[in-house]
Amino acid sequence: MEWVFRNDLPIYSQLVDRIKLGIVSGALPPGARLASVRDLAMEAGVNPNTMQRALQELEREGLVFSQRTAGRFVTEDTAAIDEVKKTLARGQIESFLAGMKELGFDREEIIALLKEDA
């Protein structure tokens, strides 16, 4: 997957979102070892300090932990991962609802449409 960045957001926060997505989708499974900062920076085509900052942010959020010499790993706390997944899902739903509202649908109509689709 290509690393593409939006222009209106800080690069580090986009890296955080991108790695989060990898974790909740299972592409980076619980306990998986992450590549080194330099390798990740090369892969994303970003400055290593920016990648470092993104990883520190993920550490702060408890999704990633580092072991002194062994490197950085994805958390094994699947409950925490599910929690993030839910938060991301809520964000998707909110933006979907906002889009539908702009199209002039109210809640019941949206639900009816969704059922039709399913």
Partner 1 sequence: MAILECKDLSKRFGKIQALDSINLKIEPGRVVGLLGPNGSGKTTLIKLANGLLTPTSGEILIDGKAPGKETKAIVSYLSDKEYLPEWMSAKQLMDFFTDFYADFDRERAKEMLTRLGIDETMRIKQMSKGTREKVQLILVMSRQAKLYLLDEPIGGVDPATRDYILDTIIRNYNPSAAVVISTHLIADVEQVLDDVIFIQNGHVTLQSSVDEIREEKGKSVDAYFREVFKC
Closest separation in Å from C-beta 5 to partner 1: 7
Nearer to partner 1, 25 or 66 (CB): 66
Which residue number, 24 or 40, has a Cβ lying nearer to partner 1?
40
Please give the full DSSP string across 28-92, using - where no structure is assigned.
S-TTPBPPPHHHHHHHHT--HHHHHHHHHHHHHTTSEEEETTTEEEE-S-HHHHHHHHHHHHHHH
C-alpha 85/C-alpha 21 separation (Å) is: 8
CB of residue 3 vs partner 1: minimum separation in angstroms? 9
Nearest one of 32, 4, 8 to 18, comparing CA atoms:
4
The residue ranges that bind partner 1 (CB under 8 A) are: 5, 7-13, 38, 41-42, 44-50, 53
Please, which residue, 5 or 105, has the CB nearer to partner 1?
5
d(C-alpha 11, C-alpha 74), whole Å:
21
Least Å from the CB of residue 49 to partner 1 = 5
From the CB of 30, what's the least distance to partner 1, in Å?
A: 29
